[in-house]
Structure 1
Amino acid sequence: MTVSAGSLWKLSEVDLLAAYHGIRRQYVERKFARDTERARMEWQKAKAFTNGTGGVTERRNAVDASEEFGRKGQQVREMTRDLELLQADVDLIAMIVRLRGLSPGSDGRADGTHDGEEAERGI
């Protein structure tokens, strides 16, 4: 979403809340897609590890050196970047909603985490 703070400030309350709802839904959908892709990649890595030959270190190195997993890892990193940009939009709209005296919901966090939880979960 490429909306400026000025144009968001000029929106009516109904349109602003609708934009907030829409951007949060989009965030959750993309986060689910990213997490699914990440889990799928980890499952494939585990499968490749168990199907490999040699000792633990050799199999781990073979999985880590795989070009296919490198591409998938890059795709997940790009999905994470897009997700962070979307989070910035969610935060901007939530801030404007709060400044205008409306209530965006619990605390405006799109993913339901509180400050500090992201570091604990390794996000």
Structure 2
Amino acid sequence: MNLSADALYGMSDMELLAAYAEARRQFVEKKFARDTHRARLEWIRAKMFVGGSGGVTERNMAIDVSEEIARKGQELREMTRDLDLLKVDVDLIAIAIRFRGESAPSRAHAEDLDGDSDRKGHDATASS
């Protein structure tokens, strides 16, 4: 989206709310795609672990050096970056709405945007 603060300030109330709704929709779609990609990556890692031979350490090392896992992990990191950039757009629109004195987006929506509680644990495994 990449809206500037000046462009948001110049929008009518209806345009601003429409932009907020569109940004939220895009955020939810990208978050779903990222989470699906993350789950597929974990499934591939588990499948490789079960199908591998040797002890736990040897199997984990084989997974860590897998080119396919590394490529998919990089894709996941890029998806997370795109999702974070979209979150910035949503937050900027919400700030513009609050600045105009309109009622702020509900707290339930804000909690969806505040971040992923499980992201920290997955980022560590994705970068391993």
Identify whether the pair has TM-score above 0.5, normalized to the shorter chain. Answer: yes
Deviation of 1:102 (Å): 1.3
Aligned 8 A contact 2:49 2:59 in 1 = yes
- Equivalent positions of 1:49-68 (< 5 A) are 49-68=49-68
Change in Cα spacing, 1:9 to 1:110, as seen in structure 2 (3 Å) is farther
What is the TM-score normalised by the length of structure 1? 0.89
- The one-letter amino acid paired with 1:44 is I
Aligned-partner Cα distance in 2 for 1:67–1:92: 38
Structure with bigger helix share is: 2
Deviation of 1:105 (Å): 2.2
- The one-letter amino acid paired with 2:16 is L
SS in 2 for 1:53: coil
Aligned 8 A contact 1:8 1:96 in 2 = yes
Deviation of 1:3 (Å): 1.4
What's the counterpart of residue 79 of structure 1?
79
Aligned-partner Cα distance in 2 for 1:111–1:13: 23
Structure 2 gaps, min length 5:
121-128
Residues 58-91 of structure 1, C-alpha deviation per residue, up to 9 Å, x if partnerless? 0110011100000000000000000010000000
What's the counterpart of residue 109 of structure 1?
110
What's the counterpart of residue 5 of structure 1?
5
- The one-letter amino acid paired with 2:63 is V
Q: Percent identity?
A: 55
Aligned 8 A contact 1:24 1:90 in 2 = yes
Query: Is the counterpart of residue 121 in structure 1 residue 118 in structure 2?
Result: yes
Deviation of 1:121 (Å): 3.4
- The one-letter amino acid paired with 2:49 is F
What's the counterpart of residue 91 of structure 1?
91
What is the TM-score normalised by the length of structure 2? 0.86
